[in-house]
A and B are shown apart, each in its own frame.
Chain A
């Protein structure tokens, strides 16, 4: 039996307390008044000598020029303008407009569309001049036509400040949500891995099944917390994560209106509860049968575990996919991707396996898993290696298909990420692909515990950033930073995770007694 050392328990509790203090601090400091945000933006503008402030003035200038042009040429004259320069100019107008036009609802969308169109018209101005110009102009002037006045700019400015204010208020919510989802996803990934071990009747892994059962103990509380934060952000908070929960946004957004049959709060909650119920039921019964098998005199419980594992895997692959649409993809309700569910799955699977390896190595180093040998470690490290590549494969497939086709409604997703999140976006690929592929390729390195722990830490940080990159651009936009709210949230849920997992590990012997494959697992080597 494993005993949760009191020192380790204290570490977990301290992590939770420190994290909770930081999270509270994050919420207290994120509610800035309109004036505060206004002065902050002005300070930023003067500091950088660019940024928003300059854009505002620049915008006014260009706008004026544009209007003079328009008026001198007349309304019909607009179409006649076909010089490259003017296309560029209007794209500049459009680019600066975006800081003003943006509403909290379609900020990411309008900004990125504009970026792409602006980029396109710059690159292929000859080819697409007429077309893009027409498009840009119709967007730039919109309903206002040619009557943009000083009051409009004042209103635009107000909208901009409000938008930034909203982004700042979103930050502690998103930080909490990303960390909560990250730890929930680890235990869900482990549960899927566990089910696969049963369904595949793996001979190497039964020694590790109890470790996996311990990690999946976090799933029920963790998933309820994720769903809770999602719902609270839309009921208690001011629609801080999911804008489709905001009736005002939906009223003005035809795209979300058309999706409201799926994206509405009651149905979102019901779906979430169905997913959590299904996963928890499997986890509950597989744990029960696993412990019952220890004292049984036949393999009845093992066969039951085998059957429910196969059924769970079917349920899991549907619900995991839908969960990723609900809990992650719907933060960008205008965007969609068909392989998103698989992509999230790859992320959760590789993080889950990494955590299995790390917990196993910790327990082995404390002498609680005497029968686990280097070959078990080697196998886990191979899974970490292979699924890191699998993740990269899906990440790249999603990225390249969208990049290649460059359809504005899809590509906005990557444009916002590439313009505002360049370091996490590219850093994540280094940490989740290049680092593991080079470090874990060598056979001998996969058998060195500290080496695998090092690689595991990098993989886990990389996948945290992966989730960060999925949520943050839609909620806080370019106002992101990995500071107190983010780190505190990781500490809070990390502490909770350690506490629940290691408490669960004390509840049953760490080595199974009557698993039909346990002998094979004990003598496993290659």
Chain B
């Protein structure tokens, strides 16, 4: 692949970072990525990221969990072997439903929670032996890093980033791939 060039600009304050992101968006530069040590409130909106749909996925998983619980207990307790256990009515699902509600609830929550977490891991590409994608170790401690794709004059971009309060600006050339 051809050589790609990005600029890394480091900041030490999240407020400065926010104003820098807004400035870059206003100047219509493309922000590749922002690395922060902690969640910065409003950063996703400033960057113009699309809202997450993980809640919708979780709702669907919950519905699946409820269905699994219902079908499982309908089959086991009503259809397969309808025993008389302590006089509980096992003629139809609805007659004995109150006894099944705790399991229906728990399985709904179980499916909604676990499948949502797994979805999150898959979508954000996280797993135990994954190689960390960290451009600068300081971003996990007290520095903020904006990665901007180079477009047009590099010197102009350096100047702009310095103006926004960056403590360190460097050009990174990737030519491995």
The residues of A with any CB-CB pair to B shorter than 8 Å are: 120, 123-124, 127-128, 396, 399-400, 403-404, 406, 441, 443
Contact = CB atoms under 8 A, between A and B. Distances in A.
Contacts of B84: 124, 127
A449 to B, nearest CB: 22
Contact of B87 (A124, A400, A441): A124
Size category, B interface: under 10
B101 A127 contact: no
B97 to A, nearest CB: 10
Interface in B59-83: 59
A123 B59 contact: no
Contact of A400 (B55, B59, B89, B101): B101
B98 A123 contact: no
B89 A123 contact: yes
A406 B101 contact: no
Nearest to A119: B89
Contacts of B59: 441
Contact of A396 (B55, B87, B101): B101
B87 A120 contact: yes
Contacts of B101: 396, 400
Given A127-B87, A128-B87, 9 more contacts: A120-B87, A123-B87, A123-B89, A124-B87, A396-B101, A399-B98, A400-B98, A406-B87, A441-B59
B50 interface: no
Nearest to B55: A443
A396 B105 CA distance: 12
20 contacts: A120-B87, A123-B87, A123-B89, A124-B84, A124-B87, A127-B84, A127-B87, A128-B87, A396-B98, A396-B101, A399-B98, A400-B98, A400-B99, A400-B101, A403-B98, A404-B98, A404-B99, A406-B87, A441-B59, A443-B55
A22 to B, nearest CB: 38
Contacts of B98: 396, 399-400, 403-404
Contacts of A124: 84, 87
A162 B122 CA distance: 71
A125 to B, nearest CB: 11
A445 B167 CA distance: 43
Contacts of A396: 98, 101
A404 B55 CA distance: 35
